[in-house]
Chains A and B, each alone.
Chain A
Amino acid sequence: MNKKKFLANFLTYIFLIVFTVIALYPIINVFTISIRPDDRLLSTSLSIIPEGATFKQYIELFTNRPFLLWVWNSAIVSFVVTVTGVALASTAGYALSRFQFIGKQVSMLGLLTTQMFPATMLLLPMYIMLIKLQLINSYLGIIIVYSATALPFCVWQMKGYYDTIPFSLEESARIDGCTKWQSFYKIILPLAAPALVITALFSFMTAWSEYIVAAQVLQDTDLYTLPLGLKSFQSNLTTEWGLYAAAALVVSIPVVILFIILSKWLVSGLTLGSVKG
């Protein structure tokens, strides 16, 4: 038995290591670009540490570019979108999972269908609409658009997770004297912590990495978010690849930190089983 278990664990690690290497290799390449002394996307050599490696791009990024401003702007936008996404998706998903009401099927399908139209075609009318609403050059405009981008997935995902939590929990809560709202936020919501984590991560990433809408809506450089800032290192045939790569890596750090913080709730399982049992 023990031998078998040992073998299983050993294979698990092998598999994880292989996939981690595959996951990391292209990113290590990005790192190599970022420390290459001249702006080169490619190289004919495969060495990870290039000749004349330098961290000057990172220093340039933080000292001579408004990088921290972009980080701050993106952080604000992403934070608001995350909060909005979590708040609206956790409630809407709950209603769709638990209640029968007219328009339920239609709303669920409606949410899905919003994702089906090729996004490039929606840009022109969306832009015209934002102009009419005076939302050009404002965060309010992109926050609403981002929330709408993130919500369909988040709502469906929350609904799916609530579906795995038995009805009996609320029923017993109601018998104990909880209101509908109380039994939702006190009993069910904490049990859905893993789904909330996914919703939060997804909403955050939607706002953190979006470029096309931001490029059309935000014209004021003071309002630039990270993807817009990064793009400014680029130019048709002469991109500042070193800076771009350095910035791309720095930009992923907040995402990783957020993930590390949130994964406590993602994998803790908050003893759903014991409540159920």
Chain B
Amino acid sequence: MIVSVLNKHLISATILLAFAFSLLTLPGCGSNKKENEIVIWHNMRPEEKNVIQEQLDEFMKLHPGIKVIQLYKETEEMRSGYIVAAIGGEGPELIYGPSDQVGPFTEMEIIKPLETVFSQEYFSDYNKDALIYTNNSLWMIADKLGNHLTLVYNKDLLPVPPKTEKELIESGMKLTKDFNNDGRTDQYGLVWNYTEPYFFVPFLTGFGGWVLDSLNQPTLNTPAMVAGLKFIQDLRDKYKIIPNEADYDIADVLFKEGKAAMIINGDWSWSSYGNAGINYGISTLPYITVSGHYATPMVAPKGYSINVNVDDEKLAKVRMLLEFLLSSEKQLETSLEVKTFPSRTELYNDPRLLNDEILLNSKKQIEQGRALPIVTEMRAIWDAMRPSYQAVLGGAITPEKAAQLMQEDAVKKIREMREDVDNPVWGLIVQVLMLLIVLAALFFTRKSIVAFFRSFKKNTFAYFLVLPALVIMIAVVLYPFIYNIILSFSNMSLSHIHDWKITGFEQYAKVFVEPQFYEFFLKTLIWTFSNITFHVVIGVTLALLLNKKLPGTGIFRTLLILPWAVPQYIVALTWRGMFNYEYGAINLILVKFLSMSPVEWLKSPTEAFMAIIITNIWLGFPFMMIIALGALQSIPQELYEAADLDGARWFNKLKTITIPLIKPVMIPAITLGIIWTFNNINVVWLVSNAGEPSDKTHILVSFVYKAAFNLYRYGYAAAFSVVIFLILFAFGMTFLKRTKATESVY
């Protein structure tokens, strides 16, 4: 019986395989560089995307020979993706985004200077802030000015917006209410994503401070910074007009639900408040009377740059497209539709713009604003401000201390980013060493290689079975591996993207002197082992229960795999919401059903770390459950029956029959589970919002991503990765030796 069923299966399998391979050949053949295609990468929000798509459709109708594709990418991903693609000689023809991306792109020489593409008079009509120059070359032409924060207020709660910080506090206190007197605030005077440095900047400028001086050196340790930090603290602790814990989404939702009278948010958000039924108005941020400055946001033009890899023939088409998209007519269309501010000065007196209350107030705020610096140093500034700022909010350090730490950290990060190691002697030594290692490896394995070819004949069948899988693995992995190992000995960084060379062991030395390395290594160990322990214990327990084949277990089995089936991204963010202090389900359960006090999950490092572990346990147990369920099938029922006859207790059966017999299947899953968890950046990133609070909630991979990759320190990042690899390799060897997993059981 089995045999005939199998034959049928085999036939269908063969057909499937044939089908599969015919599929493989199909889409692979098309050429990928199309002559008449222009691709734009951008980070526009949905409404903007709709507008540009309509404009592109119009353009394509006018020029039937050209196909334009717009692709949305999240800002950070767009940048790293573009860098990778452009270095590889590919990438979109146009890249659209905020002006600060020009900094790294020009240093890496992956965008074209534009003054040669357009004639000088073409630029005469542009707002000068919309033309992004560095080093006497033009790199970006903006079609929108803005990306700026303003004060948004709910007209139903607050008819007249505050003009000064005193009025802000006054109306804030009036509007922060506990309607039912249960000790919980039901309506806030003011909310915003104040834990994020970008959203703090208005209060740095409001007290007369700024982030960089004219030499691009950080200016964070100033009285203005201290005053700004104290002001935020006071809003929260003294006047109590802002929530205790607020990230972007919480602030957003409070304002949308009418539970906050004011929100500080950017031009991207306004229309969504209208859509949510809020009668909102826009006002400039308050004047700070004690300092005599306006609280001013950063203003960033958004515009287009051209990929350096675009050839001359295509450049003409790209120019045509840009002239079309940047024309006054199209800019006006966009402005009226999505409330952004145009870059063509001839539009500034257009009645259609002047009559729009939102655009008018937005313009006032832009005129007060300060341009976001486009130098790459800004990345280091943000990364340096965030941890200390959040530590002040968490009460761990004083504003004075924070200002000092921010400055030191920023100086250090900029130095690291700019660091240029060049050591020809060591470079040569490393190259010789590499060569020697390769030769030695060949020499010492020469007997095995000969033996391999000899045994090939004897063991043809085994090789025939195992080689296809190995060949695919080697093909995919070998080159990236070697590339990274070489990179880890190199000086590849922001200023050496194309001309990097092997310089020696500096990058490794830096990994081990990094004081946080050991802290995050410990955290990674805790993270990995708590996750895997819970995955295995929960997974195996559930599998044992499901395997009892009671009525209804089929339904449970299916429901229990759902955490694995639903895309991780959204459930991880849902979990983040569930951990919210005031509104999250977890605290509500703790308080209502278990009579415990609520936990500030996301505000302190330990609790935030627990939160990411809990989320990942939830995400990972179904997988172990499925594997354990499969493993349990290999145990002959007779063994249990025999044990029952001997009167064995369930615990004994578990210990002597179940565990030893599922071990061969579980060990590979556990080994790989440990490796994957060790390097699992996603959940950490999403739930802790990239390491918050204060960059304490990291494991090694998320740390290397943030501290090295983000600052374009590729050589260092590669060395760090090789260290991670070696740690896992050492672990893997010991673990396998202990469990004897590479050997057969029978």
By a beta-carbon cutoff of 8 Å, the part of chain A in contact with chain B is: 9, 12-13, 15-16, 19-20, 22-27, 29-30, 33, 38-44, 46, 76, 79-80, 83-84, 87-89, 91-92, 94-99, 101-103, 105, 107-129, 131, 134-141, 143-145, 147-148, 151-153, 155-157, 159-161, 163-167, 180-181, 185-186, 189-190, 193-195, 197-198, 201, 205, 209, 215-216, 219-221, 223, 227, 230-238, 240, 244-245, 248-249, 251-252, 255-256, 259-260, 263, 266-270, 272-274, 276-277
Contact = CB atoms under 8 A, between A and B. Distances in A.
B30 A138 contact: yes
Contacts of B593: none
Contacts of B2: 186, 190
Given A127-B84, A143-B24, A152-B672, A118 B724 contact: yes
B732 A216 contact: no
A234 B637 contact: no
B442 interface: no
Q: Is the interface of A mostly helix, strand, loop or mixed?
A: helix
Given A46-B588, A123-B84, A125-B483, A89 B459 contact: no
Contacts of A15: 541, 545
B45 A236 contact: yes
A15 B24 CA distance: 46
25 contacts: A13-B552, A20-B559, A24-B562, A26-B571, A33-B574, A84-B20, A87-B17, A89-B469, A92-B470, A95-B462, A101-B466, A121-B721, A161-B665, A164-B661, A165-B634, A197-B630, A209-B568, A215-B73, A221-B71, A236-B75, A240-B46, A252-B565, A256-B561, A263-B558, A272-B633
Interface magnitude class on chain B: 35 or more
Given A148-B477, A220-B69, A245-B570, 18 more contacts: A25-B585, A41-B574, A42-B577, A44-B583, A114-B477, A117-B484, A118-B725, A135-B28, A138-B30, A139-B24, A145-B476, A155-B469, A156-B668, A198-B630, A235-B46, A236-B268, A237-B269, A273-B638
Contact of A156 (B553, B562, B570, B672): B672
Contacts of A105: 742
Interface in B613-640: 618, 622, 626-627, 629-631, 633-639
A223 B633 contact: no
B88 interface: yes
Contacts of A197: 630
Contacts of A270: 633
A4 to B, nearest CB: 11
B583 to A, nearest CB: 5
Nearest to B468: A88
Nearest to A76: B23
Contacts of B388: none
Contacts of B729: 113, 116
Interface in B540-582: 541-542, 545-550, 552-554, 556-571, 573-575, 577-578, 580, 582
B525 interface: no
Contacts of B741: 160
A41 B577 contact: yes
B664 interface: yes
A249 to B, nearest CB: 7
A266 to B, nearest CB: 6
A112 B675 contact: yes
A99 B459 contact: yes
Given A41-B249, A255-B565, A201 B626 contact: yes
Nearest to B454: A102
Contacts of A145: 476
B117 interface: no
B73 to A, nearest CB: 7
B562 A256 contact: yes
B653 to A, nearest CB: 13
Contact of A102 (B16, B451, B622): B451
A14 to B, nearest CB: 10
A38 B256 contact: yes
Contacts of A235: 43-46, 49, 72, 74
Contacts of B465: 91-92, 94-95
Interface in B468-510: 468-470, 472-473, 475-477, 479-481, 483-484
A204 to B, nearest CB: 11
B745 A41 contact: no
B570 A244 contact: yes
Contacts of A102: 448, 451-452, 455, 459
Nearest to A272: B634
Interface stretch (B124-132, B210-218, B407-415, B701-709): B701-709
A111 B567 contact: no
Given A163-B745, A256-B562, A256-B565, A12 B545 contact: yes
In the A-B complex, list the 7 residue pairs whose CB atoms are closest, starting with the nearest. Answer: A273-B636, A140-B28, A156-B668, A194-B630, A125-B483, A99-B462, A148-B476
Contacts of B469: 88-89, 91-92, 111, 151, 155
Interface string B165-208: 00000000000000000000000000000000000000000000
Given A92-B466, A216-B81, A235-B45, A266 B629 contact: yes
A88 B558 contact: no
B424 interface: no
Contacts of A39: 272, 275
Nearest to A15: B545
B85 interface: yes
Nearest to B193: A237
Contacts of B661: 164
A143 B21 CA distance: 11
B405 to A, nearest CB: 28
B669 interface: yes
Given A156-B668, A164-B634, A189-B6, A27 B462 contact: no
B476 A144 contact: yes
B372 interface: no
A126 B675 contact: no
B266 interface: yes
B567 A115 contact: no
A42 B583 CA distance: 9
Contacts of A103: 448, 452
B391 to A, nearest CB: 24
B432 interface: no
A26 B578 contact: yes
B461 A231 contact: no
Contact of B276 (A38, A115, A190, A263): A38
B645 interface: no
B728 interface: yes
B519 interface: no
Contacts of B479: 125-126, 129
Contacts of B573: 41
Contacts of B73: 215
A274 B622 CA distance: 29
B337 interface: no
Nearest to A147: B472
A103 B571 CA distance: 42
B541 to A, nearest CB: 8
A273 B746 contact: no
Contact of B571 (A27, A151, A219): A27
B549 to A, nearest CB: 8
A57 to B, nearest CB: 13
B78 to A, nearest CB: 10
Contact of B3 (A76, A186, A238): A186
A223 B571 contact: no
Contacts of B268: 236-238
B463 interface: yes
A116 B722 CA distance: 9
B570 A248 contact: yes
Contact of A157 (B16, B43, B44, B627): B627
A23 B626 contact: no
Interface string B693-728: 000000001001100010000100110010011001
Contact of B618 (A22, A79, A107): A22
A16 B547 CA distance: 12
